[in-house]
Amino acid sequence: MNYFNQKILFVVWAFFFLFPVAGFSQYKDSSMNTKHISARKNVLDEQFDYAIVKYAGLLQKEDNTTVRAEYAFALALSKCYDGAIMNLDKILISGKADKTTLFYISQVLKLMEYDELADVFWEKEESFKIWWIYDKYESFLEKYKCLATINTDNLWTALNRANMLVAQKQYIQSIVLYQELVETYPNEYLPYIGFSALWESLGYNTLAIKYLRQGLAVMGNNKTKFDTDGIYQKHLEKLETDNNYESRVFQSHKLKELGGQKEQNSSENGQFERQFAYFGLTYINKTVSMNAKYGFYTSDKTSFSLGFGFSRYDKTNMYTIASSFCGDIGSIFNAGLSLMGQLSKENYGLGLGLVGGLSIPLSDKKSSIDANLAFYYNFKFQSTNSLDFTGTLSIGYTRYF
């Protein structure tokens, strides 16, 4: 293969590996058949009833997370809020919620005029866009926003229903119901206490503290009557001094499967940080190399790693150093770029490559088995002036901390 053809092949590989990361990955979990495309077009054309029928038909054939989230959005746009939040809860219960799901949850809550609740799930970031709806979703909010009411029961019946929803992990419905109760019964302390307990169970201590304080304020001079042993006051003090702060349940699916995300308590911008260590074997240059690497997540979908490898081939020690920057595609797949250097006696090589693979979470949810395939375009490989391709296959174990 001549130099010109090699350059063309390298560009083709780059296009097909990197284009999904750049903006098409939101379609990965979706079958994107003709009916799905047509349903999206109906939403964009504001023909929500037609879209709902098509989404429902798709879900009868396959329970797809992307389709269900879009279905909930279409239901909310048609003001069928009960159906919308029930479908969002089904996604959360399935454990398949990702950042795209959180976006649709926020949009449904904004349509219901619960902007503060919506911000708990999603804060707008320009780096993440749902491309098919990106140009219209803000105008939809302005046009179709309508205050919703999902409760018609009295206070005690509604509180029992809210508690039952929490027990069934139907969190969106219970959050909306408690929000309605604290707004409808501002002078009753129990809705505030229940809402506080819900947020605490989800790991949102700031909101748990907020509503517990409000509940105690409503008790006022009757604290000794309603809180005879001072249990609520003591619990508030415990929450305010708790060092295990804001460990949130709602997060991207892959990181949830691998043990959940760790947030910086003192960070001003809330940047995500998670570290990992890897050990495995790599087949390269007709030999097997032992290698290890350390890495960290720069966001909830991108990571950077630096690795070191060693092998012995033809009575010669070979050392490898590689750095990689990868982005997640879906829940277990990833792809990105890698720079690799090799040293063996007087020979050396430097390669720029494309890497892709998958991480399969283990039952402890703090580790995974990883398999990766990489193609490197080598410069002055083995001290020659030739340009060549090198393929590597790796498999190993990753521990997250």
The domain tally of the chain equals 3
Q: How far is CA 300 from CA 156, 216, 252, 296, 354, in A?
A: 41, 37, 7, 10, 21
- Residue 202 belongs to domain with CATH number: 1.25.40.10
Residues 280 and 386 in one domain: yes
Residues 286 and 236 in one domain: no
Residues 278 and 232 in one domain: no
Residues 181 and 100 in one domain: no
What's the confidence (pLDDT) of residue 283? 85
Residues 115 and 183 in one domain: no
Residues 286 and 355 in one domain: yes
Kindly state whether residue 251 falls inside one of the protein's structural domains.
no
Kindly state whether residue 257 falls inside one of the protein's structural domains.
no
Spatial distance between the Cα atoms of 35 and 233, rounded to a whole number of angstroms: 55
Kindly state whether residue 24 falls inside one of the protein's structural domains.
no
What's the confidence (pLDDT) of residue 178? 93
What's the confidence (pLDDT) of residue 53? 95
What's the confidence (pLDDT) of residue 223? 67
Kindly state whether residue 193 falls inside one of the protein's structural domains.
yes
- Residue 122 belongs to domain with CATH number: 1.25.40
- Residue 294 belongs to domain with CATH number: 2.40.160.20
Reference 277, options 370, 152, 356; nearest CA is: 370
Task: Give pLDDT tens digits along the chain (401 positions).
Answer: 444 444 444 444 444 444 443 333 333 333 457 889 899 999 999 999 999 999 999 999 888 999 999 999 999 999 999 999 999 999 988 888 888 888 999 999 999 999 988 988 887 766 677 888 888 999 999 999 988 777 778 889 999 999 899 888 899 999 999 999 999 999 998 999 999 999 888 888 888 899 999 998 988 877 666 776 778 888 888 888 875 555 455 543 333 433 333 333 323 233 334 788 999 988 877 788 898 999 987 776 788 899 988 887 777 788 888 899 888 886 688 899 988 887 877 677 788 889 999 888 876 667 889 999 988 887 765 544 445 777 888 999 998 87
Instruction: Name the packing angle between helices 99-111 and 81-94 (round to 10°).
Output: 160
What's the confidence (pLDDT) of residue 346? 66
Residues 203 and 314 in one domain: no
Residues 130 and 193 in one domain: no
Kindly state whether residue 17 falls inside one of the protein's structural domains.
no
Kindly state whether residue 80 falls inside one of the protein's structural domains.
yes
Kindly state whether residue 52 falls inside one of the protein's structural domains.
yes
Query: What is the domain extent for residue 101?
Result: 31-144
Residues 126 and 169 in one domain: no
Kindly state whether residue 396 falls inside one of the protein's structural domains.
yes
What's the confidence (pLDDT) of residue 29? 35
